[in-house]
Structure 1
Amino acid sequence: MAADFWAGYLSGAVGIVIGNPLDLLKVRLQAGHGADGSVPTQSPSPQSGLRRFESGNALVRGAAAPILGYGALNALLFVAYNRSLMLMDRTITDPTDLQSIPLWKIWLAGAAGGLASWGVSSPTELIKCRAQLSSRAEVSSWKIAKEILHARGFGGLYYGGAITSIRDSVGYGFYFWSYEYCKRYFASEKDDSRQAALKVLLCGGIAGIVTWASVFPLDVVKTRLQAQPILESRPRGPFGETRPMLDRQILNSFQIAKQAYRREGWTVFYRGLGICSVRAFIVNAVQWATYEWLIKTLNRSDNLVFSLAT
């Protein structure tokens, strides 16, 4: 377990460091408004999103939670994926060599891995999203987390958790499926180490694009759901009872999707997909290359230690 855990953790952290600036732009394009509830008078564009990078610090805004959280998420994802796949097929000995495994098993194992990582991905996504959309100059992931805990308790960290779990399960199913499909499509016995490494980068990048294309409408709804003004203290009655906030209605996923379609048309569900695809290709190319290199290196080290011990 140690090899795929640490390979997943470190590759996930590397991916966040590389992709956070583009992820910030993607989230702002998806939301169409800030976490303070303000709605623009016109649809946002990549140029307006870039102008909202108030300082160099904005490029890494919201990165602290994902670097720690996504590292753990990626570790859980790969461990759950590998274990699920091994439960379905006992012949697997090397997680980087799955040529004989049916692709439908890989999709199911990926979906199981995505669902297993939900416990980390849901609060991480909420904190990241609200930090990236905040208009406050001084904001951090830690400050956002404390505000959520103070206003809504521990359960508040899982606001939007249902749609996040669906997105992760479906998305990661296609993530592992498309990566393995590409590896098989481009495989050749004549490849040298350089060609093999380039193909890993290519397959990882393609897998990232396929994954986001498959769940992008869900991600748009999730972003808008989590960007709602949910942190205001609710007014109290004379006996301490909580009164409804009639001026700030909190919408559910279906209401948000319906409202977005009615106001902005179906294209709203793909706003930011171009930026996201560029980011997905770069991040997942590097992430898969890092993962495969690390797991092979760690497995060789474990085998060497075992051989010396015996």
Structure 2
Amino acid sequence: MDFWPEYLASSWGREFVAGGIGGIAGIISGYPLDTIRILQQQNSNFGSAFTILRNVVAKDGPVALYRGMAAPLASVTFQNAMVFQIYAVLSRAFCTSVSSNDPPSLKGVALGGVGTGALQSMLLSPVELVKIRLQLQNTGQSSQSVKGPVRVAKNIWRNEGFRGIYRGLGITVLRDAPAHGLYFWTYEYTREKLHPGCRKSSQESLNTMLIAGGLAGVSSWFFSYPLDVIKTRLQAQSPSSLKYKGILDCLRKSINEEGYIVLWRGLGTAVARAFVVNGAVFSAYEITLRCFFNNGSIQV
């Protein structure tokens, strides 16, 4: 009975719980924009973001924008909790000269983010595979008609095996490792510029959290977006319709068929979503630390 109070009193417990709550806030706030982004990346014939939004809602109703959300929502609490927990450990491990009372250096923040992104890809890759397959159903881009994330995952395992479940893992690591380094560095750098001294005092305004978190998401997505386009196309494949043999083959064929613009298709939607989602993630994370664990204060 003494486990939870002792666990939550530790820094690991606080980071884990706050990170999980932040992840839930991010998924719920940005999932409709994520669905539109996936459709834009997969086929240029779908049109603009507003056209896709209108067509999807007219055909299947607003609930279609949340198709496949159960897969990331079921795992995002644990995944995001682990991301913030691993990041807290690694960011300090890379700057041993910093005392326990001081925040990690920006170099430690960046290196800790890179390590965190690489490790979390092992969990994220299968989740995003299932999510993409669900999002592309009933759009003419997927032959699957299996409903629900669990059934889709079982179907992938049965037809494609372990290799199928981890289809796109390599490109996910290439995307997430450097992107997470930039992500955490941008957040810590921006919040300190907006509210000097807040990294040490943990006292800042909600606007600072929203803006710093939003800009962190935008910078990381802008940097990694071409890799995300390739990842989407690789993971959308099934054994019966293998168009691409690998990352370089997908890159070459996509550019030859649709030009370099294909690597940036849907970027506007992704950037808008990134600002909303990551502003919500960091705000929920910081508010949880302060409200439940008395870790600083929030200024309105």
Query: Aligning the two structures, in what range does the TM-score lie when normalised by the shorter sequence?
Result: 0.7 to 0.9
- Does 2:92 align with 1:86? yes
Give the partner amino acid of 1:3. R
Give the partner amino acid of 1:208. G
- From the superposition, tell whether residues 172 and 189 of structure 1 become closer, same or farther in structure 2 (CA, over 3 Å): closer
Which residue in the other structure is 2:121 paired with?
Answer: 118
Please state how far the C-alpha of 1:153 moved relative to its aligned partner: 2.0
- From the superposition, tell whether residues 92 and 60 of structure 1 become closer, same or farther in structure 2 (CA, over 3 Å): farther
1:62 to 45, 63, 68: 68
The answer (yes or no) to whether the contact 2:213–2:281 under 8 Å persists in 1 is yes
Instruction: From the CA coordinates, give the structure whose radius of gyration is larger.
Output: 1
Gaps of 5+ in 2: 1-11, 139-143, 296-300
The answer (yes or no) to whether the contact 1:72–1:120 under 8 Å persists in 2 is no
The answer (yes or no) to whether the contact 1:13–1:68 under 8 Å persists in 2 is no
Which residue in the other structure is 1:71 paired with?
Answer: 77
Q: Deviations over 1:250-276 (max 9, x none)?
A: 431111111111111111111111111
Runs of 4 or more above 4 Å deviation = 247-250
Number of equivalences = 272
The answer (yes or no) to whether the contact 1:126–1:226 under 8 Å persists in 2 is yes
State the secondary structure of the residue aligned to 2:85. Answer: helix
- Does 2:188 align with 1:180? yes
- From the superposition, tell whether residues 93 and 294 of structure 1 become closer, same or farther in structure 2 (CA, over 3 Å): farther
- From the superposition, tell whether residues 92 and 10 of structure 1 become closer, same or farther in structure 2 (CA, over 3 Å): farther
- From the superposition, tell whether residues 189 and 254 of structure 1 become closer, same or farther in structure 2 (CA, over 3 Å): closer
The answer (yes or no) to whether the contact 1:76–1:116 under 8 Å persists in 2 is no
Which residue in the other structure is 1:299 paired with?
Answer: 293
Which residue in the other structure is 1:9 paired with?
Answer: 20
Alpha-carbon separation, structure 2, partners of 1:43 and 1:286: 29
- Does 2:151 align with 1:143? yes
Please state how far the C-alpha of 1:279 moved relative to its aligned partner: 0.8
Which residue in the other structure is 2:222 paired with?
Answer: 213
- Does 2:257 align with 1:263? yes
Which residue in the other structure is 1:165 paired with?
Answer: 173
Alpha-carbon separation, structure 1, partners of 2:99 and 2:88: 9
State the secondary structure of the residue aligned to 1:52. Answer: helix
The answer (yes or no) to whether the contact 1:86–1:92 under 8 Å persists in 2 is no
Q: Deviations over 1:125-167 (max 9, x none)?
A: 1111111111177732222112111112233211100000111
Q: Once structures 1 and 2 are overlaid, which stretch shifts more, 73-82 or 151-160?
A: 151-160
- Does 2:105 align with 1:102? yes
State the secondary structure of the residue aligned to 2:91. Answer: helix
- From the superposition, tell whether residues 151 and 189 of structure 1 become closer, same or farther in structure 2 (CA, over 3 Å): closer
Give the partner amino acid of 2:183. Y
Give identity over the alignment, percent: 32
State the secondary structure of the residue aligned to 1:114. Answer: helix
1:133 to 127, 133, 136: 136
- From the superposition, tell whether residues 16 and 215 of structure 1 become closer, same or farther in structure 2 (CA, over 3 Å): same
TM-score, normalised to structure 2, is: 0.84
Which residue in the other structure is 1:31 paired with?
Answer: 42
Please state how far the C-alpha of 1:195 moved relative to its aligned partner: 6.5
TM-score, normalised to structure 1, is: 0.81
